[in-house]
Structure 1
Amino acid sequence: MSAEDRKYDRMAARLALIISRLFMGEQLSVQALSQEFMVSERTLRRDFRERLSCLALDYRQGAWSLSSVNEGVRTDRDILHFARVTSTDQLFPVLDSKLISVLTDKSIESPFIVWHEPPERKSTHPGSFWRITQAIVNRVLLDITTVGQHYRWFAPYRLVFFGSCWYLVGEHDHQIQVCVLSNISNVSLTQQKFLRRRSIDERLTDTDFINSLPHFQYVRNVLTGTPPSPSA
């Protein structure tokens, strides 16, 4: 192999690594890359401005990153994060880039069948699901109407899917409250923020608490002497 061929091989390998790291969401410093690849900063600036001109890139504070116009592009890291927060990763002995490439390859028939019970009653108000999600992320209090009950200033902590049903778990009147999502008829976001209590966050990681969700309201009614609400 000639010196010129080796030069182009090194350049191709360098560009491939840079592209993969850009799509992983990294911000790449020319100075740091110069030391890593043992090439001049001038060469790397040419990489970004000429050889990678087909990509929409942003340059801020000495670092290059993928432009916001590529925000819709999902990387393996995004998929792994989604799998972790939804506990989907627990279905597989290992979930890595190799398995993700199989799962997302539309050209092959999936080698897996994962059977979940669907929700007993699918919410007829998908907008409510999104508003609750927004409130959880932004820590905004809600006004919620359920079967026979109205909750003013409800602090939403999590939406939990368990036993073929979605539950909204939060705090109302300084106590943990659980609402069956399909029983919620109206949701309104307020302008009022709230602070999450650590004790409730810790309770939400308790397996026994999750298992109690279908019976939570019944036990609460028994303990408080509250008559049961009419069924939906």
Structure 2
Amino acid sequence: MGLKKHERLAYRLSDIIVRLNNGERLDIFELADTYKVSIRTLKRDFQDRLTILDFSEAGPQFYCLNAKKIGYLDITDIKRFANFASVQDLLPKIDRQFFQEQLNQSILVKGFDYEDISARTNEFKAINQAITNCQYIEFDYYKISGSGSGSKHHYLEPYHLLNKNGIWYVVGCRYGQTLTFCFTQIANLQISTKTFACSEDIKEKILGTDSLFFGNQISEIVLQIDAKVAGYFERRDLLPNQELVRKLDNGDLLLICKDVHPREVVPIVQYWIPHIRVISPSEVQAQMKEVLKNYLAK
């Protein structure tokens, strides 16, 4: 199956960056033939998407990096930058600036729809700097609930700014527990001068999961996908931490979601009814049936 548009773009940009990083002098006409795209598309790559790179020669035909910058990117940097550059057109302007300034793992993207945080630029930037410097932050956190508003004060080791499904979150640690806070519900932010020892294990844990419910997950949820819609789940991961167990003879899929919270899986299952069901834990399927039964009874 062919790659999607942003995946093709990420592949092309990765390859271009690798070649530039290796010291090559790239000819835009040769690139057009190699990647089967127009000169206009490639000019947009260089002029809009790759402007952060330090070019010693920047067109109109030839492109190469400043000699001092050749070889300074490793493969992780290249992949992260190419993935960002392939979706940056979907980001609000202020978010594009943050990514271009940092290009580091303190900002983590999970999803391609973004809320506008331009009114809180300074706070966002301050948290990002605190993450970089391993500084504690403290703030009041306002939960959104039907029972009224209230706040609680938090003192946190910040690790990542994460965007999932359009919402920005601050992920951090306190007393050994990983916690997640919605950025726009944070108030009275203060950056402490005190620093903490950053844990690589915690960083890897945050990077390695699609879940936001750190410490509150169940080990696995097994689901069966109807063959009629199986292609959608094979094409890309529609469920958090989705893995294929096997494809059944009738075309159905058995999928497993590891280390997730039911609240992250159930809404997606409900969206795909009647083509998906929870095999285990059985109580998740039973609870979902009860909710639907009560809804239909109203």
Q: TM-score, normalised by structure 1?
A: 0.44
Q: TM-score, normalised by structure 2?
A: 0.35
- Which one has the bigger strand percentage? 2
